[in-house]
Amino acid sequence: MEVRIVGEPLPDPVVGGRAVLVGMPRGRVVESPRPVAGSSMTFVAELDVVVTPEGVDYRGPWVQGRKGERFLYLSWGHDDGDGFVLDRRAKLMLGVLDPADMLDARPDAVLEGRLSLVDARGGPVCAAVRPPAIRWRLVASER
């Protein structure tokens, strides 16, 4: 299933004199970190919805965490000249999703998560992100 993360508003593009980069890790590598720019940012990943004897589980190269505690990361950092350096990250928790909705989703459905990328102090959002800070919904594919 495609996952689309839409973040708005955005934090300041420069913190501490360094350009802020953000991306999603695939495994341990943050794929194509991008500078904070514009009024919103969108990130796309894939996940597999798997039925197990214990219920619904989420798997795939973008999915992090142990069974029952799955999440997607948004990783914030900067480029030190040798590549991406992690400063902080947000855990977009998947365990809050309704298993029945996920199992009944159309094959072409997209799981969309909308959230503010700004924390209470005005910096990049970090820590575990659950509703109401993120609004998950299933939407029709735009393809």
Cα-based torsion angle of the residue sequence 128, 82, 29, 68 in order, rounded to the nearest 10 degrees: -20
- C-alpha–C-alpha distance, residues 48 and 61, integer Å: 9
Residue 109's φ and ψ, nearest 5 degrees, are: -70, 150
Percent of residues, the chain, with pLDDT higher than 90 = 90
Mean of per-residue pLDDT scores for the chain: 95
State pLDDT tens for residues 35-60. 999 999 999 999 999 988 888 999 99
Closest Cα partner for 76 from 133, 18, 131? Answer: 18
> Residue 28 in contact with residue 138, Cβ under 8 Å?
no
Structural domain spans, the chain: 2-139
Cα–Cα distance for residue pair 62/96, rounded to 1 Å: 17
Q: Is the pLDDT of residue 25 over 70?
A: yes
